[in-house]
């Protein structure tokens, strides 16, 4: 359930402020990381079960974390921490996600001291720090339904909100150019496609384009160094994104070969304080890599990093780098990298009590696809192939991949004694251009061939050991693949879990919103043979768990409803159907995996991954909102 946001007085209704909520020993996740400009303070949202809890990080010589349980937050809350300890929160209203409430918590975060800053309507809203010389707490960037963006000044208590500028397109990012002038570098997306960099003058209410190579390219500003006025940018004018750098106000942009690696996406995270070095992140297979690029020397040096995944934002102050880090065995956290003269030292704060009592370990391995070896992440130890229960998990995308990071669903499955194999078949990113582009124009082609090859080998090996065939599980595009795999070769699978699936690229294009249709065209979804789930589902001979969010903005829930009706027409011969509609959006089913859904998936896999099909096989349609059977 969604938790009601706090009112301006810190209360949720009549009577006293809510009692503190403390996370118990359950599998939790953590999201919404943010760092203050000077790297003194951090913030995040802890997700212990169905709740969301605000967290504050003090980033000194040691890293400490504490919860602020008296402030009601939600999964979609964004937090802006300031160097003086103030926290600014932006929360979508319950029942009206386009109404955003912005509040501020003082430095000491005392109960009942929430300061209201304003209410803003829009599709989305994010926060930026205000220039230090301004009598303002923060800036708010809002994107409305006409796909225009507005920037608002959020004044201190009683000062209200002030509209500074409105401009076309959807903005992202926001880098302050200097301390007091009100110049802001942002990225602008026009008509859902073209991306370019703008310089916005918040004082004059004007803007001009400073980084754009053509109307057909995606050109972004990554980071800026005030002392040297250097910008790191990227452009896909050569066919895939490349990092480059230049000086603000000059026309020359350098694209050093050392900053590019074909088929491996790199991001510039931040400059050092002197503006001489850039922190660069690269994804290689399932792992993150970190580098320091010295602009003057054109030198790219690797940094030590344990196996895991790095995400933004990052802050580099003095010899200390802070950034979010995740690995399979623990929830995401803030990692510290100290660039000492001897050898860089990596550390993460100690954390206990959030694993749900499970000691879960994951490894990286290789399996055989239709065209060769494929990297995969596996939970279940060295004997995972002969585990009593096994799930093969398929990622979304198609241009995406499993990363070596914390996954609450996999953690819960592994804790319940269910081994998990998560392969990065063709179409996955982080393995070079050829591997990634294999599915462009061929959805349900080479990637499905790899999934079937993996499933066939596992089913045969497990049968020889007296074990049931694996369950195939997928989310979004992965759910489409899972249903195709289950319908194409049903004997290889004991059950199928499909989270927010679509029926075919063409069918999705007809029913989806314009941004989704444009993305489908970019990925060549409709150029090749259109594999249709409705055509293969007649071959299903297994239990199926089908779940979809009622408010899914990417893949309409009607896609799952049509599939449910078709499976009902096929009758009990196809196997039992567990159908859920949840009162959430795409992310609530595919990314965040709401706790009731995680429990439902775990129970389903525990039962059907063992080859047991209880009951009469009668099909039922269940709503997670009301629990009624229809």
SS3 readout for 319-353: CEEEEEEEECCEEEEEEEEECCCCCCEEECCCCCC
Of 16, 27, 630, 5, residue with least CA distance to 328: 27
Question: Poorest-confidence range of 204-213, 230-239, 349-358?
Answer: 349-358
pLDDT greater than 50 at residue 618: no
pLDDT(506) > 90:
no
In this prediction, residues 53-64 reach a mean pLDDT of 91
Query: Which pair of tokens denotes residue 382?
Result: 């060295």
Q: What is the pLDDT of residue 621?
A: 46
> Parallel, antiparallel, or unpaired: how do β-strands 495-499 and 390-394 relate?
unpaired
pLDDT tens figures, 305-332: 999 999 999 999 999 999 999 999 888 9
Say if residue 554 is preceded by a cis peptide, omega within 30 of 0: no
What's the pLDDT at 619? Answer: 43
* Phi (first) and psi of residue 565, to 5 degrees: -65, -40
Helix (H) or strand (E) run with residue 68 in it: strand 63-68
507's torsion region: left (phi>0), alpha (psi -120 to 50) or beta? alpha
- Residue carrying structure tokens 């510290």: 336
Decide if pLDDT at 22 tops 70: no
The β-bridge partners of 597 are none
Residue 99 neighbours by CB distance under 10 Å:
15
Cross-strand bridge partners of residue 176:
184
Q: What is the pLDDT of residues 345-393, one digit of tens each?
A: 999 998 765 555 556 889 999 999 999 999 999 999 888 988 899 999 9
CB contact set of 7 (below 8 Å; sequence gap of 6+) = 114
Closest CA to 430 of 482, 389, 349, 376: 376
Closest CA to 583 of 2, 161, 64: 2
Instruction: Quickly name the fold that domain 213-342 has.
Output: Neuraminidase (2.120.10)
Nearest to 262 by CA among 280, 286, 247, 240: 240
Query: Measured between alpha carbons, how far is 52 from 29 in angstroms, rounded to an integer?
Result: 10
- The Cβ-side half-sphere exposure at 483, using a 13 Å CA radius, reads 30
Picking from 605, 607, 614, 547, the residue whose alpha carbon sits closest to that of residue 392 is 605
Question: Which tens digit of pLDDT belongs to each residue from 519-539?
Answer: 777 776 665 567 888 888 888
Beta bridge partners of 325: 310, 333
Q: Which residues pair with 65 in a beta bridge?
A: 57
Q: Is 424 exposed, middle or buried (0-12, 13-18, 19+ CB in 10 A)?
A: buried
Query: CB neighbours (10 Å) of residue 251?
Result: 6
The Cα-based distances of 360 to 357, 378, 390 in angstroms read: 9, 11, 15
Domain segments of the chain as ranges: 213-342, 362-621
Residue 410 falls in which region: left (phi positive, over 0), alpha (psi -120 to 50) or beta: alpha
pLDDT digits (tens, 9 = 90+) for 430-459: 898 888 888 887 888 899 999 999 999 999
Q: What interhelical angle do 408-415 and 595-608 show, nearest 10?
A: 40
Mean pLDDT throughout 36-42? 92
Torsion sign across C-alpha atoms 52, 174, 304, 339: negative
pLDDT computed for residue 611 by the predictor: 61
Q: What is the DSSP letter of 469?
A: P
Task: Give the model's pLDDT for residue 147.
Answer: 84
Q: Which residue from 110, 430, 148 is spatially nearest to 261, judged by alpha carbons?
A: 430
Which of 628, 476, 501, 474 has the alpha carbon at shortest distance from 566?
501
Residue 122 in tokens: 């829009």
Rounded to whole angstroms, the Cα distance separating 240 from 396 reads: 21
Q: How many CB atoms lie within 10 A of CB 334?
A: 20
Q: What is the pLDDT of residue 525?
A: 65
Neighbours of 216 (CB within 10 A): 9
Q: Is the pLDDT of residue 605 over 50?
A: yes
CATH homologous superfamily of domain 362-621? Alpha/Beta hydrolase fold, catalytic domain (3.40.50.1820)
Q: Indicate the average pLDDT of the chain.
A: 85
Name, in order, each residue with C-beta under 8 angstroms of 172's C-beta and a sequence gap of 6 or more.
186, 187, 189
Name the residue with tokens 């029942």: 95
Burial of 94 (0-12, 13-18, 19+ CB in 10 A): middle
Residues forming a β-bridge with 533: none
pTM of the model: 0.86
Cβ neighbours for 88, distance < 8 A, ≥ 6 positions apart: 79, 80, 82, 102, 103, 104, 105, 117, 127, 137, 138, 154
Determine the Cα–Cα distance for residues 7 and 579; give it in Å rounded to an integer: 36
Q: What is the pLDDT of residues 152-197, one digit of tens each?
A: 999 876 678 999 999 999 999 999 998 777 899 999 988 766 789 9
Query: Do residues 193 and 199 make contact, with C-beta atoms less than 8 angstroms apart?
Result: no
Better-scored residue on pLDDT, 475 or 13: 475
Tokens of 594: 């709401």
What pLDDT was estimated at residue 441? 78
């Amino acid at each position: 359930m969604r938790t009601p946001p706090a009112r301006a007085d810190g209360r949720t209704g009549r009577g006293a402020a809510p009692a503190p909520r403390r996370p118990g020993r359950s599998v939790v996740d953590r999201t919404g990381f943010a760092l203050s400009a000077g790297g003194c303070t951090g913030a995040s949202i802890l997700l212990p079960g169905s709740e969301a809890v605000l967290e504050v990080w003090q980033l000194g010589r040691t890293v400490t974390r504490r919860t602020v349980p008296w402030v009601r937050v939600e999964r979609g809350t964004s937090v802006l921490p300031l160097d003086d300890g103030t926290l600014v929160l932006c929360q979508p209203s319950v029942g009206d996600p386009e109404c955003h409430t912005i509040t501020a918590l003082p430095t000491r975060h005392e109960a009942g001291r929430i300061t209201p800053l304003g209410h803003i309507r829009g599709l989305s809203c994010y926060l930026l720090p205000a220039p230090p010389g301004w009598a303002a707490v923060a800036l708010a960037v809002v994107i409305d339904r006409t796909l225009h963006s507005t920037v608002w000044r959020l004044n201190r208590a009683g000062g209200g909100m002030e509209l500074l500028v409105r401009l076309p397109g959807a903005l992202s990012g926001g880098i302050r150019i200097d301390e007091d002038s009100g110049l802001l570098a942002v990225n602008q997306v026009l008509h859902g496609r073209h991306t370019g960099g703008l310089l916005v003058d918040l004082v004059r209410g004007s803007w001009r384009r400073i980084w754009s190579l053509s109307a057909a390219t995606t050109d972004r500003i990554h980071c800026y160094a005030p002392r040297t006025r250097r910008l790191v940018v990227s452009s896909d004018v050569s066919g895939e994104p490349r990092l480059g750098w230049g000086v603000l106000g000059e026309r020359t942009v350098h694209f050093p070969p050392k900053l590019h690696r074909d088929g491996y996406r790199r991001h510039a995270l931040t400059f050092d304080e002197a503006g001489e070095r850039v922190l660069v992140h690269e994804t290689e297979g399932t792992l993150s890599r970190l580098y320091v690029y010295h602009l003057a020397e054109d030198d790219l040096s690797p940094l030590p990093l344990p196996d895991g995944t790095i995400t933004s934002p990052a802050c580099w102050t003095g010899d200390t780098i802070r950034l979010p880090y995740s690995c399979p065995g623990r929830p995401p956290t803030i990692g510290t990298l100290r660039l000492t003269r001897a050898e860089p030292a990596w550390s993460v704060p100690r954390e206990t009590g959030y694993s749900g009592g499970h000691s879960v370990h994951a490894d990286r391995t290789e399996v055989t696809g239709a065209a060769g070896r494929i990297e995969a992440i596996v939970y279940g130890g060295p004997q995972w192939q002969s585990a009593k229960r096994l799930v093969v998990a398929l990622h979304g995308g198609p241009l995406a991949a499993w990363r070596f990071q914390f996954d609450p669903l996999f953690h819960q499955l592994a804790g319940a004694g269910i081994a998990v194999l998560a392969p990065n078949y063709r179409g996955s990113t982080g393995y070079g251009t050829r591997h990634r582009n294999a599915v462009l124009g061929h959805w349900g082609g080479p990637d499905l061939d790899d999934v079937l090859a993996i499933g066939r080998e596992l089913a045969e090996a497990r049968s020889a050991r007296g074990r049931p065939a694996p369950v195939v599980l997928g989310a979004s595009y992965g759910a489409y693949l899972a249903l195709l795999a289950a319908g194409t070769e049903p004997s290889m699978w004991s059950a199928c879990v499909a989270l927010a699936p679509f029926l075919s690229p063409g069918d999705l294009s007809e029913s989806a919103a314009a941004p989704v249709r444009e993305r489908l065209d970019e990925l060549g979804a409709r150029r090749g043979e259109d594999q249709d789930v409705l055509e293969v589902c007649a071959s299903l001979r297994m239990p199926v768990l089908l779940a979809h969010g009622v408010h899914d903005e990417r893949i309409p829930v009607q896609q799952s409803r049509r599939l449910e009706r078709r499976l009902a027409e096929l009758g009990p011969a196809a196997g039992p159907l567990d159908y859920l509609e949840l009162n959430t959006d795409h992310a609530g089913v595919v990314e965040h995996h709401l706790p009731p859904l995680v429990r439902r998936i775990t129970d389903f896999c525990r039962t059907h991954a063992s080859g047991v099909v209880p009951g009469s096989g009668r099909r039922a349609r269940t709503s997670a909102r009301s629990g009624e059977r229809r």
